[in-house]
Chain A
Amino acid sequence: MDYQNEIKEGILAYEKEKVIRATKDALEAGMEPMKLLDGVTNALNIIGQGFNCGDLFLPELIYASDAAQASISLLEASIKERGEDRSRKGTVVLGTVQGDLHDIGKSIVAALLIANGYKVVDLGTDVSAEKLVGAVKEHQADVLGLSALLTTTAAGMESTIRHLENDGMRANVKVMIGGGATNANYASQIGADAYGETAVDAVGIVKELLS
């Protein structure tokens, strides 16, 4: 059984159950999780390229990255059990700030980062500053990405940055912001490191912040 190919095919066919099953079967059969991870990355590269050139669209991108993420979580758990460490490009914690329920823009950023090989911890929407900072600590995140669509909730970004400073964490993590309520001026005003106009920008920004 070519598990690596099975996982890749499952992602490319948008069959999440197949991806999870193949990952579990592969691990049970004693396959090396690092090797299986290559199959996932390979499939995500194809999806990412398809999205960039306009052949694939948001539903395909997000679903494929969700399916890949399900497989990656299983594989990482196994890597950890084996006492190994996954070398990766970097870890990004993402969240829509407190009081804001807008999920889609942030989910697109997550999907694109996953597709580009970053580890993504997506905390969802309406996330408090405490929770965001806690996740940065727990996952030793390299970048914290904050999203807000509403001008009324954008203040949650500033309070998150203050929270990082108070905890002495600000120097350890880069902060990028985006979403309808934000712009480059606002980013510098609140002391964020970068602002992204579009979801696609986020990938380039993370790459630059980590270089």
Chain B
Amino acid sequence: MTTKGYLRRGNLLEILSEKDIEAVHRGALEVLGATGVRFESKRALDLLKKNGCKVDEDLNRVRFPSGLVEECLNQCPSSFRLKGRSPKTDVNIGGNTLYFCPSPGMRMLDLETREQRVPTIEENHQAVKVLDKLETVNLAASYTPYCELQDVPGAMLLPVSAWSRMKYFSKPCRVGASQSSHIWEMQMADVAGMDVFAAMEAAPPLTWYGDAIDCAWACAERGLPVEIGCGAVMGGTGPATVAGTLVQSTAEMMAAIVMVQLVHPGTGILANSFVFAQNMMTGAPAAGGIEVSLFQVAFNQLWRAKYDIPTMIGACGPSSSQIMDVQLGFEKGISTALAAVSGASVVNIHGGIHVELTYHPVQSIIDDDIASMMGRFVEGIKVDHDTLALDVINEVGPIPGHFLRSRHTIDWWKKEHHLPKVSDRKSYHDWIREGKPTIIENAKQRMHEILESYEQDPQLSEKQNEDLDRILEEAREYYKSKDLI
């Protein structure tokens, strides 16, 4: 399996004026100076104090001088490389390349009952194998893909998820940030011979918890990149306004960047937007709304144009729909399209269904079509002598001429046209004959084919498999000793 991502051509969608961007930037600096951010970590407080921040040790509150923030922002590289299990799956995050990543879900959507159910470890393996073989999947998030598994205690979920991925997934992965899971995950990645990056995800408003700090610290110390995520819910844990949540999120992320750059200057940063809107009917986060896309487009513009730091749009995968239906399709399609055309480096899309609560591998296969479609879009339109096609237009002439007979068509159609894998493109007659299949049935068929023919590429040695199993056992012993199992 080779994955390359999509190289952009053409202009990016922008939604804010330069003045707007400046206003958000200054607003964030003002919040950092006036109110500051809570850091639940003694060593982080010490480090920040030593470097000129004002620290209120009773409240764990840190207020940041603007100069330090800007200095640390400038230290962030505009791109960084992550090694997959083989050079075929390396990624170079940043620059003009668009990548895609799965979007986890707590449980599995049961396609028969339309209800959620807890998947087995074997079902997790299957979902991971499918992702491994999808060309548009370039890297993985921490939980891949389920966050709850039958017969696996809570403390072991992240280590088991990482173990499943290291065995059946050949692309770079993000480690989890819960109960020091990153320790085992980094060891497993060393065995599998691939890079991981940290997950440092905020607890809004304006708070960083110990687990997130520890995970980022450990990776940064080793020179591994850190994904810094903002996850406010507009109207709940962030202001109801898009601009307000942009200010708050920027302040949270700037605070984290200062800490990470002080731990290890030059650490690669991936700015992740995991912002939703508050569902004012239920109190849950509302995914798939267009206000979320407004936030994401502005977020992409701010982080790329102002700070030149690559972005991940983590909140495209989940929708508010409960099942794999038309609503899921249009919410994912619209949000992914807008994230892609506004300059995201990574868009998390594959497999997620209802607001991070459900996932299904069949959906990941459908999302492979959405991802490749948007990938083709960002590659843009090539205009040159060959593509302008004057020679062939003149050769074919008016009706009854047509271009299906032309060599030019053979040379170009596959480069110019997007060819989906499971979206329906059949003629009416063939569709009737084949039993009127929907895209879901087409995707089930593809899933079956992927699983039937699955092979590890590259193969893990016996020693690597044994080492992965051993590390998982060590994690189990550790959590037992901590009374977490």
Contacts and interface: CB of A to CB of B under 8 A. Distances in A.
Given A59-B410, A198-B429, A126 B405 contact: no
A96 to B, nearest CB: 8
B291 to A, nearest CB: 41
Contacts of A126: 400
Interface string A175-199: 0000000000000000000000110
Interface in B392-425: 399-400, 402, 404-407, 409-410, 413
B404 A104 contact: yes
Interface stretch (A60-68, A79-87, A157-165): A60-68
Given A101-B400, A198-B427, 11 more contacts: A57-B413, A58-B404, A59-B404, A59-B413, A60-B410, A62-B404, A63-B407, A63-B409, A101-B399, A124-B400, A126-B400
A66 B429 CA distance: 27
Contact of B405 (A57, A63, A125, A197): A63
Interface string A78-114: 0000000000000000000000010110010000000
B430 interface: yes
A57 B419 CA distance: 11
B405 to A, nearest CB: 6
Contacts of A62: 404-405
Contact of A107 (B404, B427, B429): B404
Interface in B249-283: none
Nearest to B432: A197
6 contacts: A14-B407, A14-B410, A59-B404, A63-B406, A107-B404, A107-B405
A16 interface: yes
Contacts of A125: 400
B429 A59 contact: no
Contacts of A107: 402, 404-405
B328 to A, nearest CB: 27
A197 B428 CA distance: 10
Interface string B47-79: 000000000000000000000000000000000
A59 B409 contact: yes
Contacts, number: 35
Interface in A7-66: 14, 16, 57-60, 62-63, 66
Contacts of B399: 101
B168 to A, nearest CB: 27
A63 B430 contact: no
Nearest to A62: B404
A13 to B, nearest CB: 10
Contacts of A101: 399-400
Interface string A113-147: 00000000000111000000000000000000000
Contacts of B410: 14, 59-60, 63
Nearest to A124: B400
A103 B402 CA distance: 8
A104 B402 contact: yes
B400 A103 contact: yes
Q: Which of B399, B405, B413 has the most CB of A within 10 A?
A: B405
B442 to A, nearest CB: 13
A124 B407 CA distance: 19
B402 A197 contact: no
A159 to B, nearest CB: 20
Contacts of A59: 404, 406, 409-410, 413
Contacts of A63: 405-407, 409-410
A101 B89 CA distance: 50
Interface in B363-419: 399-400, 402, 404-407, 409-410, 413
B261 to A, nearest CB: 51
A104 B407 CA distance: 16
Interface string B121-132: 000000000000
A58 B402 CA distance: 13
Nearest to B403: A59
A124 B402 CA distance: 12
Nearest to A107: B404
Contacts of B429: 197-198
A58 B413 CA distance: 11
A16 B407 contact: yes
Q: Which of B400, B402, B429 has the most CB of A within 10 A?
A: B400
Contacts of B402: 103-104, 107
A16 B90 CA distance: 41
A59 B430 CA distance: 20
A66 to B, nearest CB: 6
Nearest to A196: B429
